[in-house]
A and B are shown apart, each in its own frame.
Chain A
Amino acid sequence: MLQSEHDLMRCEIETLVEKLGRERSSLMPILHEMQRKYGYIPSFAMQVIADELGIHPVEVYSVTSFYAFLKDVPGGKFTIRVCNTISCDMAGKDRVARQLEAELGIKFGQTTPDGRFSLEYTACMGMCDQGPALLVNDIVFTRVTPELVHQILEECRGHFGIYAIQEEVH
């Protein structure tokens, strides 16, 4: 990473801290913002955040690693999270999961080589009455069938930018 990129990130974090407050209780909102922007929390960012909030980098790392939606390594542009909990499981989540693996050529826990898609399991996401459900970044897809998987991926592929698909869904 170039130094200038670090400087930019530092400025960005300083602005965030100004906006959200220089307290430990601002940590989660700050991490959310960084996750949103970069798709993960870069190690450099963790150190700057720690410095700004007067805590240790390892504490930021510890918090990041605790929450499933905060990452310390870059993931795909689209993170697909398939609900792994019982209702979705009974509704046929396994077949959807297998189809996703087949379409993307990766296993759960992996990211496609082009950096576009990551596959993950997630715990119950509150769509139990219309499983199988999955999240593409923030967007929920329900009653997903193996056939629909292809369509969802195509929708993602057809768009540029992380939140581009937002309008299509609702």
Chain B
Amino acid sequence: MITSHVGPLTYEKVDVDKALKAALNKSRSEVIGTVSSSGLKGRGGAGFPTGVKWNLCAAAQNEHKFLVCNADEGEPGTFKDRILLTDYAKLVFAGMVIGGYAIGATKGLIYLRGEYQYLRAQLEEILEALREDKLLGFNILGKDDFSFDIEIRMGAGAYVCGEETALIESLEGHRGEPRNRPPYPVDTGFLGQPTAVNNVETLAWVTTIFDKGAEWFKGQGTEKSPGLKIFSVSGDCKQPGVYELPFGVSVADLLKTVGGEDAKAVQIGGASGHCIPAKDFGRKIGFEDIATGGSVIVFGPQRDLLEVAINFMEFFSDESCGQCTPCRDGCPVILKGLEAFKRGECSIAHLHELRRLGETMQLASKCGLGQSAANAFLSITEHFADEVLGRNQSNGFKE
């Protein structure tokens, strides 16, 4: 049985029907205005303002536009979207309807990761119920100028498809290889049409905002990172699970909430995020300091962080789409270096070269995956050089 611990969530108390009606009673530009004034930023990790994205999409004159819900949650350590789609799918779908209305889309697509195939039947049922309630389909809520339906498309086991242009390529029947940007999907997206790609959680917050108000949302969190955020917590803590906390929370406070106070480091943002050492636990989580899609992996004192770095590099070596040189060829080179460290066979000079390579990957890779693939390696070797260097097979990282 899948039994995740879920902390108290605002979503529990949201009146979806009321929110949806409130939104659709406004004009399109008012809807976008509300979302903009709430300060909502994309919850997938990049933090692009949702209102701006929708505005760009709405401005396009194309006959066809798409709203895509990115449910390809693949970042290691993230499972909040699974909880949302299991328990609050209607909230997410309502967010899609509102977004579709705002940008003038006629079709919504959910790109659901292949691993969540088991959720599909349940989601189809909810969609069907929405159609029956006239909240989906032709002339929603009797509005002559708004018809919108949602289709579920399945991913097939590719982390990179969480990148929005790779996701669109995949929807179009191609390899999930990120596109060159610009142009951006809001201009040239699915089938060449303007497309807004939004994270599951972002869409859930949209509905919430139309129930509780933009002011309420803006009142939470920090100035640059307004609102609440859902965190997926795993690793060495007493109570792994899903937590709702305001942006701006410090790492230490978060650890206290989940019972992970003795951690020596925390990986925030998953494999593509950064490893935060204990001395930095005072730092705040939010777009102004540590940006994240919500993955928090706690490492207790007994953990070997070189193993962690190796695990992440293996992940990226497999999950890189393989088109651009820095990411495709850089990941295995760093992985090989890390394995050499494990055997105690790597010089500091080579470590420095690998760290410079990591910088090149950050700068020169084609997409966000490649640009962040070396983050974990860089932060671990920066903060835990003592653990990484001078080892041999038998002693591991402890002398």
Contact = CB atoms under 8 A, between A and B. Distances in A.
Contacts of B171: 25, 28
Interface string A126-167: 111111000100111010000000000000000000000000
A123 B318 contact: yes
A68 B321 CA distance: 12
A27 B173 CA distance: 5
B89 to A, nearest CB: 15
Contacts of B315: 84-85, 123-124
B77 interface: yes
A170 interface: yes
Interface stretch (A3-11, A59-67, A97-105, A108-116): A59-67
Contacts of B155: 67
A87 B74 contact: no
Interface in A7-66: 23-29, 31-32, 35, 53, 62-63, 66
Given A32-B154, A68-B156, A129 B314 contact: no
A67 B158 contact: yes
Q: Is the interface of B mostly helix, strand, loop or mixed?
A: mixed
Given A25-B171, A66-B175, A129-B4, A32 B156 contact: yes
Interface in B116-146: 116-118
B172 A24 contact: yes
A142 B117 CA distance: 16
B80 to A, nearest CB: 9
Given A89-B311, A90-B236, A126-B82, A68 B2 contact: no
Nearest to B321: A66
Contacts of A28: 153-154, 156, 170-171, 173
Nearest to A122: B157
B358 interface: no
A68 B73 CA distance: 15
A106 interface: no
A127 B74 CA distance: 11
Interface residue tally on B, bucketed by range: 35 or more
B267 interface: yes
B173 A63 contact: yes
A14 B155 CA distance: 22
Contacts of B157: 67-70, 122-123
Contact of B297 (A29, A31, A86, A123): A86
B199 interface: no
Given A28-B173, A32-B156, A140-B2, A85 B236 contact: no
B28 to A, nearest CB: 27
Nearest to A65: B175
A71 B238 CA distance: 39
A118 to B, nearest CB: 14
Nearest to A67: B156
Given A138-B117, A139-B118, A128 B174 contact: no
A62 B175 contact: yes
B389 interface: no
B114 interface: yes
Contacts of A138: 117-118
B351 interface: no
Nearest to A126: B79
Contacts of B312: 86
Interface in B351-392: none
B379 to A, nearest CB: 14
A86 B77 contact: yes
B156 A128 contact: no
Contacts of B32: none
A130 B155 CA distance: 23
B339 interface: no
A150 B11 CA distance: 39
A24 B1 CA distance: 38
B308 A86 contact: yes
A32 B235 CA distance: 33
A69 B271 contact: no
A66 B76 contact: no
B75 A124 contact: yes
Nearest to A26: B173
Contacts of A24: 172-174
30 contacts: A24-B174, A25-B173, A32-B156, A63-B173, A68-B157, A69-B157, A84-B311, A84-B314, A85-B311, A86-B267, A86-B312, A87-B234, A87-B240, A89-B307, A90-B236, A90-B299, A90-B303, A122-B115, A123-B74, A123-B315, A124-B270, A124-B315, A126-B74, A127-B2, A128-B240, A129-B242, A130-B4, A131-B234, A135-B115, A142-B1
The list of the 3 closest CB pairs from A to B, nearest first, reads A27-B173, A68-B157, A67-B156
